[in-house]
Structure 1
Amino acid sequence: MLHEKYGKHDEALSDYDKAIALKSNYTNAYNNRGNVLKELKKYQEALTSYEHAISLNPRHAEAYYNRGVVLKELNRYHDAVDSYTNAFSLKNDYVDAYNNCGNVFITLKRFEEALACFQKAIAINPNYSFAYNGQGNVLMELKKFDEALISYEKAIALNSLSPFPHNGMSNVLQELKRFDDAIVGYEKAMALVPDSAGPYVNRGLAMLGKGNFDEALQNYDRAIELNPDMADPHWNKALLKILKGEYEEGWQLYEYRRYKQDLKGSYPIYEQPLWLGQESITDKILYIYPEQGLGDFIQFCRYVPLVEKLGAKVVLKVPNALYTMIKTMGLNARIVRNDEKVEEFDLHCPIMSLPLAFKTTVETIPNKIPYFFSDPFKRDYWQRKFAYASNSLKVGLVWSGSKDHKKDHDRSLRLKQLAPILDLPVTFYSLQKEVREQDKIALSKLDHIQQYHEELNDFSDTAAMVDCLDLVISVDTSVAHLAGAMGKNVWILISYLPDYRWMLDREDTPWYPTARLFRQANVGDWDSAILKVRKALEELLISKT
């Protein structure tokens, strides 16, 4: 025990091995041996030791707790939950087990269950600062920002020397666009842990939010110096580089997404090698698979024909909602749905690694448009349906994306915010698949917006409808990508700090030649962007007369 206490791990392991040799059913020796292996980051060996302790004493709460810790490190999150649950089932006041279980639930995005764990820990020990910090993290994920701030403040009051609540509170302030206040909090965290990369990453994001790109880059670089193996600063630097049009470095750094804690679960580990353009794929079977959102897949599937031209036999896994649209691309690839298993292939490549594989620059973006096409029979159906408005300008509207999107509050609108354009002599068609409760009342009062959401079963239905319109006006969501991929006129409303793909200070985008971008002039300022849309619509109406 003394060797373990003073960090003499090899000696400690030797001591526990001797103890076990003398007494093979020595439960605590196995548990403590696991703790040493855990400190050495030998998680699989630690797990074996903890499981031996549990087999000897199935009521050993601490062994279950420690087993949960290493299972989390091994990314076996569901098993970690089970282990922590066993720990606090055996020991009802085990606040650490409740707290850690809550943290795993956050990773699994099971936020209500996470909140229940932290609240249970607080009920047991109202002075347990870590639980207030965890509760703040959940409330932020649930976008309950005011409640999250209160929870972080409580955590700081209980333990002002912990960097975590300072960092968490600043994350909330950043979401509220209070960037200067957020920076103050990050700097408090830096003062407490000057060698920690995390606060530098977050201060970089706050600087980015203010539009201070050079300062953001400096913070990311400092974080990389402090922790070269940390994926987040590399990833954030990638997004900034691509945003600025510096594609060569940007796409290389973009590969760090596969190691980010919140994304790496989307990237299976295969025995076959990863292909990033470095070797010939002639006559090889290349497995390309989806990642991130539907809009991302629509944007990057344009590379698949280029892969086929290299002589590869492509197996393309497709999100189920896009299966029928991908079929319109005329690919030679074997196309499989997202829920189908793929086993036989020579190399693999996540779809958003294709820009790197083809050494894409702003000038070499493959933008042969259209590459998506509507179903002729479905298109005829909508043409007949819209015949009554043959002399009118027909405009499709998308004002909100998925509410689960991390940046939904930055990119989505309330329908009423489009009021400045809704009084124009235009026939509007809602392309919303889902309408939020707050918009249903407003929509019910707007008879001139035609609604067909019940007939939009998948993207092929939306595509056919889009093909019959003169224009689509959309926030930054998958329908905007769909319209762009079809070569339709699409006006996209873009936030002040845009997604990396839209770059900066331009109204066009090399990804979609028929798209026009309407950007916020300031953070959160949709009004000025929508007034620009109105002016452009008025000019379009004049040109049509």
Structure 2
Amino acid sequence: MLGFFLGKKEESRDFKTGEMNNLVESVTAESLFKAAGEAFDRDDTVKALDLYAQVIHLQPDFEKAHVMLGFLYKERGNLLKAKLHLSKAVELKADLADAWYLLGGIASLENDAETAIKNWRRSIEISPSQEHVYVELSFALYQRKQVEEAVAVVEAGLQYFPRNIGMLQHYGNYCLYLFRYAQAMGAYMRALEQNPHSVELIFNYVVCCVVLMKLDEAFEGFAQIRRLQPDYSPALVLEGALRLKLGDFEQGWKLYEHRWNTSELTGWRFVTSKPKWDGTQSLEGKTLLIASEQGYGDTIQFCRFIPQLEKFGCTVHFVVLSPLYEMMEQMSGVTQLLRETDPLPVYDYYCDLMSVPLALQVTVESIPSASGYLRSMESRVLHWRSRLEHQKRQRRVGIVWAGNPEHKNNYLRSISFAAIQQLFALDLDFTILQKEIGAVEKQELQRFDNVHFYGDEVTTFIDTAALVELMDIVVTVDTSVAHLAGAMNKPTWVLLSYHSDWRWLLNTDRSPWYDSVRLFRQQIGEPWANVVETVKLALAK
């Protein structure tokens, strides 16, 4: 990249040592610079470094030599010397686009994103025709969640380089993040025109198709990816999730098994030398270990299958995350319940919890225990009943408007306080069931005497279950509370984003997993406030 930015190659081609055989020429900074460029072209960076240093010795204000020294020292990892020479270069001549670009790269390596962004912006202002700078600047902004600015940078770059695949792909990715699926699709399509066999580009295009429910295009894309790279796990998992969402559990469960080959779930994989039970091996007289996976809601939803294993004549051990241990103690069919940190007993087979439906060949019609399978603890219900005595309104509503901020899809499923607060105008008592709320929200809640938050008093799922038991209805976004309330057969209204999880299926306001759940679906482009207004009207009846 740097071989061109100073016009060095062109200059070095004019330097012919053969033409100098009969010439007596005094050594000048310019001739040394040309010789250094020749050495650089031969990849003799040691010689080039020495010659560029001689240039500076002869002519300290030779700014292009400072830039090349900065580049070479940066490549060697000597960022201090690199920065010294590059800073000197821009001090001598402020409009050196390449020096600002390199200074941006050094700042990025030093984890100083703010300075990197500032330097890259300066580089583009000086010389707008630098493809690589647009990409790096936009990505730095994206990493800082300044995604609108990242989009603007790439849009500017595409004015100069409308067919640059890297920029088109980044533009698509940023639009995808901002839910601008039509724009993202357009960018990916333009990139695919030039590189139609890029599996990553096809996959990103398919993601947009899935969100926009362009099913024919999505399945065509899946087929194309299988032809190009049959083992591309992200596509296999996405297709599995889509088939589950469409109610095709037979194919969906099989494809969903590829989740363990994705980087996203690497940390969740249960590592063992024992064979995995897939439903074909006899379990008579054997010990089966079930390992929970992913989130709390997944464990709550899928633990219903544990009692189904008794019919195979096996002993069942169940490993769960510690916060769910007390809640899971009530599960029938479990010989030994274990926390994830407990030593494991002897066992013959294992199975991941969300793989059990595949082994049991579960269909939409055969989902068990939809009428409830978990209950609250009586002692905690008694405790919380006394705490809630001050709530005297006619009905109690449990409320959750935001999930775990660390969840990858939290930005999709959570609702702003500004949108949800319209519910609080109703003459009902609202108990907040989510664990955390922001400082600003706490301040805002002081305006409502019918909204109650017990904060640190709710320490376990046993406490949450007791509160759910004492509610008349639970209104929640797609979090573990939705699954807990549904598993307790509590009337539960779940507010779903337009791109909801596969388990809530499509085109229905009911769930085959929970008889007591009613679904309120957001449409593409619809603000959450509209969905909340629908819920408000339903609550008011």
TM-score normalised over the length of structure 2: 0.73
> CA–CA distance in 1 between the matches of 2:540 and 2:494?
17
1:92 aligns with 2:78: yes
Structure 2, unpaired ranges of 5+: 1-72, 81-106, 125-129
Structure 1 residues 67-466: aligned runs within 5 Å: 91-92=77-78, 116=111, 133=135, 136=138, 140=142, 143-149=145-151, 163-342=165-344, 344-389=346-391, 392-466=394-468
Q: By how many angstroms is 1:533 displaced? A: 1.1
> Secondary structure of 2:263's match?
coil
> Secondary structure of 2:111's match?
helix
> Secondary structure of 2:357's match?
helix
Q: By how many angstroms is 1:115 displaced? A: 8.9
Relative to structure 1, is the Cα distance of residues 88 and 381 closer, same or farther in structure 2, using a 3 angstrom cutoff?
farther
The answer to which of 112-121 and 389-398 deviates more is: 112-121
* Counterpart for residue 474 of structure 2: 472
Q: By how many angstroms is 1:504 displaced? A: 0.9
Relative to structure 1, is the Cα distance of residues 132 and 285 closer, same or farther in structure 2, using a 3 angstrom cutoff?
farther
The CA RMSD over aligned residues, in Å, is 3.1
Work out whether residues 163 and 190 of structure 2, in 8 Å CA contact, stay in contact via their aligned partners in 1: no
From the CA coordinates, give the structure whose radius of gyration is larger: 2
Q: By how many angstroms is 1:151 displaced? A: 6.1
Structure 1, unpaired ranges of 5+: 1-86, 95-111, 540-545
> CA–CA distance in 2 between the matches of 1:480 and 1:242?
19
> CA–CA distance in 1 between the matches of 2:387 and 2:348?
48
> CA–CA distance in 2 between the matches of 1:285 and 1:135?
55
Relative to structure 1, is the Cα distance of residues 359 and 88 closer, same or farther in structure 2, using a 3 angstrom cutoff?
farther
CA-to-aligned-CA distance 1:310-339 (integer Å, 9 cap, x gap): 222222111111111001224433111122
> CA–CA distance in 2 between the matches of 1:352 and 1:118?
40
> CA–CA distance in 2 between the matches of 1:113 and 1:353?
42
> CA–CA distance in 1 between the matches of 2:153 and 2:338?
46
Q: By how many angstroms is 1:245 displaced? A: 0.9
Work out whether residues 316 and 333 of structure 2, in 8 Å CA contact, stay in contact via their aligned partners in 1: no
Q: By how many angstroms is 1:510 displaced? A: 0.8
> CA–CA distance in 1 between the matches of 2:109 and 2:470?
46
Work out whether residues 162 and 192 of structure 1, in 8 Å CA contact, stay in contact via their aligned partners in 2: no
> Secondary structure of 2:289's match?
strand
Work out whether residues 414 and 439 of structure 1, in 8 Å CA contact, stay in contact via their aligned partners in 2: no
Work out whether residues 389 and 427 of structure 1, in 8 Å CA contact, stay in contact via their aligned partners in 2: yes
Relative to structure 1, is the Cα distance of residues 297 and 154 closer, same or farther in structure 2, using a 3 angstrom cutoff?
farther
> Secondary structure of 1:116's match?
coil
> Secondary structure of 1:409's match?
helix
Counterpart selection for 2:497 from 495, 498, 507? 495
Please tell me the residue identity of whatever aligns with 2:217: E
CA-to-aligned-CA distance 1:266-296 (integer Å, 9 cap, x gap): 2144221112212112222222112221111
> CA–CA distance in 2 between the matches of 1:121 and 1:274?
49
> CA–CA distance in 2 between the matches of 1:487 and 1:114?
53
TM-score normalised over the length of structure 1: 0.73
Q: By how many angstroms is 1:216 displaced? A: 1.7
Q: By how many angstroms is 1:408 displaced? A: 1.3
Work out whether residues 282 and 311 of structure 1, in 8 Å CA contact, stay in contact via their aligned partners in 2: yes
Relative to structure 1, is the Cα distance of residues 287 and 173 closer, same or farther in structure 2, using a 3 angstrom cutoff?
same
> Secondary structure of 1:287's match?
strand
Q: By how many angstroms is 1:208 displaced? A: 2.0
CA-to-aligned-CA distance 1:380-418 (integer Å, 9 cap, x gap): 111222234466201111010011111112110122212
Q: By how many angstroms is 1:531 displaced? A: 2.0
> Secondary structure of 1:472's match?
strand
> CA–CA distance in 1 between the matches of 2:183 and 2:110?
26
Q: By how many angstroms is 1:152 displaced? A: 5.1
* Counterpart for residue 12 of structure 1: none
1:537 aligns with 2:539: yes
> CA–CA distance in 1 between the matches of 2:139 and 2:315?
45
